[in-house]
Amino acid sequence: MSAATQPAPAPAAAAPPPPEAVRRAAARRRRVPYLLLLAGVAWLLVFFVAPMVYQASTSVQTGTLEDGFKVTWHFATYWDALSEYWPHFVRSLVYAAVATALCLLIGYPLAYTIAFRAGRWRNLVLVLVIAPFFTSFLIRTLAWETILADQGPVVSLLNDLHVLDVTSWLRITQGHRVLATPLAVVCGLTYNFLPFMILPLYTSLERVDGRLHEAAGDLYATPLTVFRKVTFPLSMPGVVAGTLLTFIPASGDYINAELLGSTNQQMIGNVIEAQFLRVLDYPTAAALSFILMAVILAVVTVYIRRAGTEELV
């Protein structure tokens, strides 16, 4: 065979990279997720962990503002604070639970309407739901002072319908006025935290396939049965998320009780605010904060375990 007809030699295979280079590349790939988390971890350390540690240290201190506070591991502060202010804890949980239930009763039909019936008006209604967030929380609460004023149209109408006679008998209002009563505080909480309920409910309901409703109708299910067997179970992630987003901040709120209630309707947030800013008893204020956080954490844990869904547990 001549040299012209001889096949060309096959190209030499590329040499594999050295094992050390492979290990370095793999190590770099493993570090990437941790580097991406670095900013979030730093944020939590600076703005959550550090204040928590400082407050934990404050809660076991003794002393006065003039002489200074020193860490003496005085854990009795927790028991003293709980013994004195347990009615405020109970009141806060009750008000928050009632406001959460009202938000669910009001928000679910609205979220259902937006998800399945709003049509081309959906975006407009969603904007109207979140529009209150463009106004200060304080201003929105002050507006309820005007709405529930003793000589205002709302209270006058309730008096004409003798509704306030019933609510006074139930001890949620006093006489012929609504301000400075539990009803006023709960109304303020419900209004201010209603969007936190509607948005998760809408997100969950919007994911429900409409063909499931049609299939249930083809099987002769009534609208109530479709809602009970199909719609509501599939919307449970939104129900759980909405109730948590409403109950947790409502439990620690103090603006509504301060502006719409009286000293008889003070919540634990009002006590903590007063201990920090007026009484200047920092150990008691810190202890109350930790007790409130522990109570909310326990309530939320039990609730999620009993009513949670696979997406949340």
Element (H, E) at 106: helix 76-116
The confidence score (pLDDT) of residue 10 equals 56
The confidence score (pLDDT) of residue 7 equals 61
Whether 207 shows a pLDDT value over 70: the answer reads: yes
Whether 230 shows a pLDDT value over 60: the answer reads: yes
Percent of the chain with pLDDT over 90: 60
List, in sequence order, every residue forming a beta bridge with 62; answer none if it has no partner.
70
The answer to whether 202 and 126 are in contact (CB under 8 A) is: yes
The confidence score (pLDDT) of residue 13 equals 55
What CATH number does the domain located at 81-307 have? Answer: 1.10.3720.10
Q: Which two tokens stand for residue 16?
A: 């594999």
Per DSSP, the three-state class of 62 is strand
The confidence score (pLDDT) of residue 304 equals 86
Whether 250 shows a pLDDT value over 90: the answer reads: yes
Give the C-alpha separation, 186 to 98, whole Å: 7
Residue 199: which region, alpha, beta or left (left: phi > 0; alpha: psi -120 to 50)?
alpha
Q: Angle CA(285)–CA(290)–CA(293) in degrees, nearest 5?
A: 125
The confidence score (pLDDT) of residue 313 equals 43
Cα dihedral: 101, 105, 106, 112 (round 10): 130
List, in sequence order, every residue forming a beta bridge with 69; answer none if it has no partner.
63
When pLDDT is cut at 50, 70 and 90, the band that residue 8 belongs to is: low
pLDDT tens digits, one per residue of 24-64: 877 778 888 888 888 889 999 999 999 999 999 999 999 88
Average pLDDT over residues 183-191: 95
The answer to whether 238 and 204 are in contact (CB under 8 A) is: yes
Q: Which two tokens stand for residue 55?
A: 């407050």
Give the C-alpha separation, 224 to 201, whole Å: 19
Q: At what angle do helices 282-307 and 236-252 cross, to 10 degrees?
A: 170
Please give the model's pTM, rounded to 2 decimal places.
Answer: 0.85
The confidence score (pLDDT) of residue 195 equals 94
Give the C-alpha separation, 175 to 166, whole Å: 10
Question: Based on the number of CB atoms within 10 Å of its own CB, is 136 exposed (0-12), middle (13-18) or buried (19 or more)?
Answer: exposed
Whether 145 shows a pLDDT value over 60: the answer reads: yes
Closest listed residue to residue 208, CA positions, set 194, 227, 225, 195:
227
Per DSSP, the three-state class of 112 is helix
Q: Cβ contacts of residue 184 below 8 Å, gap of 6+?
A: 144, 148, 178, 260, 261, 265
Q: Which two tokens stand for residue 58?
A: 């404050």
Which of 70-84, 211-225, 257-271 is the least confident region? 211-225
The confidence score (pLDDT) of residue 208 equals 87
pLDDT: which is higher, 28 or 183? 183
- Tokens 């938000």, residue located: 103
The confidence score (pLDDT) of residue 213 equals 82
List, in sequence order, every residue forming a beta bridge with 68; answer none if it has no partner.
64
